[in-house]
């Protein structure tokens, strides 16, 4: 629900702009404010799960997401919609990490790999399915249904949670690290918003620099603060766990190269090849289909080859599959495009599900909520930076080649560089021991 909504809204921005009487460029606020709210509240999600109980927070987050979705659908101005999106982003920031905490506490160690494989499905399919679904809803009905569709999904989700998930007790003694929340929130929000501004040209360069400096300074102050308190909001001491640290750093590098692919493919298909938004969106669905396919084999693959060999080999394959998209031309048969994107989806899905299990394989059960917050925060940063980095690379290539308008060859070169960056995560995965993650594979 959260991941679909975050991407489906992109296709509705032009229609919203017409209805509200606003310039299309101002509608980017709808996306940026959502990401800003997510960045602000992701760090506090672990504390909230501990303090009030994960199931209670999970249900409350879904209810709030439904109410804010209804507020979005009934908005009559850009101001109302922007405020509603802020609320929606705050509730979305609670849903994903807290749901992960419940899964980590409920699953036995030997089932963690399989559980994380299924948990990674929405993260892979949401961004792929969102644009074509949004285009379909806008074309057949109206932009309001992008938000209204969340209501029945939310009701079903709450019913399933109350029926199936255990009610873990709250830790009433858990105290909120107020200063840590302020510093981490300002730092993360500033960096995410700066990266988003770079990727979509939302702000002049001087303001982007101001946001980057503010984010870096706040992050540095938070690191200093976290070393001085017993229970920091984001516990950086978790990075002393070797498997957790390697998964965070290598995973971030992998996402820097891979997370921008949907953004680049949509540009290539629409701007480079002149395809309609719906056709471009439908072509990218092949990656989502591949993501589903591997879920039935990922556990066997990791148990056969181990975490180290699987992640190392797959990082090279993923980088190659992204770089291979550089061969796409307007004359390339659709069946070949679909086949390559399908295989690429299989490779990235295996990587993310394996990476998710490794991240928490050696984290003590009592620290899962803090580990989930730190993991979600780093993921939010790396995925935001990925699009911004791809936009910077594309702009640099256009300037070097003297192009004032985007050419398909510029996009191809950008994807080639992103593929190389993705493959570079192999160097970090090499640090893993041969028995890394054996607690969840039985090896």
419 lies in some domain: yes
Q: What is the pLDDT of residue 4?
A: 73
Q: What is the pLDDT of residue 66?
A: 92
Q: Is 310 helix (H, G, I), strand (E, B) or coil?
A: helix
Shared domain for 168 and 181, answered yes or no, is no
Shared domain for 303 and 410, answered yes or no, is yes
Cα separations (Å) of 120 from 109, 114, 367?
17, 10, 21
82 lies in some domain: yes
Shared domain for 203 and 245, answered yes or no, is no
122 lies in some domain: no
Q: Is 77 helix (H, G, I), strand (E, B) or coil?
A: coil
**Residue 300 belongs to domain with CATH number:** 1.20.1250.20
Q: What is the pLDDT of residue 327?
A: 84
Shared domain for 274 and 228, answered yes or no, is no
Tens-digit pLDDT profile for the chain (443 aa)?
A: 777 776 677 667 667 777 777 665 566 667 767 777 777 787 777 778 777 888 888 899 999 999 998 998 888 887 788 888 888 888 888 887 777 777 777 767 666 767 776 776 676 666 667 667 766 776 677 778 888 888 998 999 899 988 888 777 777 666 777 788 888 778 877 877 777 676 556 667 788 888 888 888 988 888 888 788 777 777 778 888 888 888 888 888 888 888 777 777 777 777 777 776 667 667 777 666 666 666 667 777 877 888 888 888 889 998 898 888 888 887 888 888 888 888 888 888 788 878 877 887 777 777 777 777 778 777 777 776 777 777 778 878 887 888 777 777 888 888 888 889 888 989 888 888 777 766 666 55
Structure tokens at 358: 């490794």
Global pTM exceeds 0.95:
no
Shared domain for 370 and 243, answered yes or no, is yes
Shared domain for 365 and 390, answered yes or no, is yes
> Number of structural domains, the chain?
3
Shared domain for 405 and 303, answered yes or no, is yes
Shared domain for 98 and 189, answered yes or no, is no
Distance CA 108, CA 4 (A): 29
Of 217, 232, 247, the domain-final residue: 232
19 lies in some domain: yes
115 lies in some domain: no
Q: What is the pLDDT of residue 155?
A: 93
Q: What is the pLDDT of residue 67?
A: 93
Cα separations (Å) of 339 from 46, 131, 284, 375?
40, 20, 11, 32
90 lies in some domain: yes
Q: Is 331 helix (H, G, I), strand (E, B) or coil?
A: coil
Give the structural domain span for 258. Answer: 239-443
Shared domain for 212 and 269, answered yes or no, is no
Shared domain for 223 and 333, answered yes or no, is no
Q: Looking at beta carbons, which pairs linking 234-240 to residues 24 or more positions away fall under 8 Å?
A: 234/43, 234/46, 234/180, 234/184, 234/370, 234/373, 234/374, 234/377, 235/367, 235/370, 235/371, 235/374, 236/374, 238/363, 238/367, 238/370, 238/371, 238/374
Q: What is the pLDDT of residue 189?
A: 76
Of 191, 215, 232, the domain-final residue: 232
Shared domain for 157 and 40, answered yes or no, is yes
Shared domain for 159 and 17, answered yes or no, is yes
Residue with tokens 């858990």: 174
Q: Which residues contact 111 (CB under 8 A, 6 or more apart)?
A: none
């Amino acid at each position: 629900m959260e991941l679909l909504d975050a991407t489906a809204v992109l296709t509705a921005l032009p229609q919203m702009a017409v209805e509200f009487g606003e310039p299309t460029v101002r509608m980017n606020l709808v996306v940026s404010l959502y990401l800003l709210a997510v960045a602000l509240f992701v760090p506090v999600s672990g504390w909230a799960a501990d303090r009030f109980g994960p199931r209670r927070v999970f249900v409350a987050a879904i209810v709030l997401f439904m109410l804010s979705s209804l507020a979005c659908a009934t908005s009559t101005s850009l101001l109302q919609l922007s405020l509603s999106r802020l609320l929606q982003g705050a509730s979305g920031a609670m849903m994903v990490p807290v749901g992960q905490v419940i899964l980590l506490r409920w699953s036995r160690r030997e089932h963690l790999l399989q559980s994380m494989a299924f948990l990674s499905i929405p993260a892979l399919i949401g961004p792929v399915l969102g644009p074509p679904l949004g285009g379909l809803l806008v074309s057949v009905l109206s932009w309001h249904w992008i938000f209204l569709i969340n209501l029945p999904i939310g009701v079903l989700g709450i019913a399933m949670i109350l029926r199936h998930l255990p009610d873990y007790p709250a830790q009433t003694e858990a105290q909120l690290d107020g200063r840590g929340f302020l510093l981490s929130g300002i730092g993360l929000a500033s960096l995410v918003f700066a990266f988003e501004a770079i990727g979509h040209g939302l702000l002049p360069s001087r303001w982007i620099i101001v946001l980057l400096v503010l984010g870096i300074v706040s992050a540095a102050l938070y690191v200093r603060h976290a070393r001085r308190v017993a229970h920091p909001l984001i516990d950086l001491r978790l990075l002393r766990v070797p498997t957790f640290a390697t998964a965070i750093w290598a995973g971030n590098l992998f996402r820097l190269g891979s997370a921008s692919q949907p953004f680049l493919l949509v540009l290539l298909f629409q701007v480079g090849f002149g395809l309609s938004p719906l056709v471009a969106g439908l072509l990218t669905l092949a990656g989502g289909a591949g993501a589903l396919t591997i879920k039935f084999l990922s556990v066997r693959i990791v148990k056969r080859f181990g975490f180290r060999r699987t992640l190392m080999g797959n990082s090279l394959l993923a980088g190659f599959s992204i770089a291979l998209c550089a061969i796409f031309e307007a004359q390339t048969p659709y069946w070949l495009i679909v086949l390559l994107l399908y295989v690429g989806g299989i490779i990235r899905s295996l990587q993310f599900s394996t990476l998710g299990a490794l991240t928490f394989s050696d984290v003590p059960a009592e620290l899962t909520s803090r580990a989930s917050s730190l993991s979600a925060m780093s993921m939010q940063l790396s995925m935001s930076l990925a699009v911004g980095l791809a936009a910077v690379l594309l702009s640099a290539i256009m300037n070097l080649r003297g192009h004032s308008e985007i050419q398909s060859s510029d996009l191809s070169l950008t994807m080639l560089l992103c593929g190389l960056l993705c493959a570079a995560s192999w160097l970090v995965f090499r640090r893993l021991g041969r028995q890394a993650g054996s607690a969840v594979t039985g090896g």
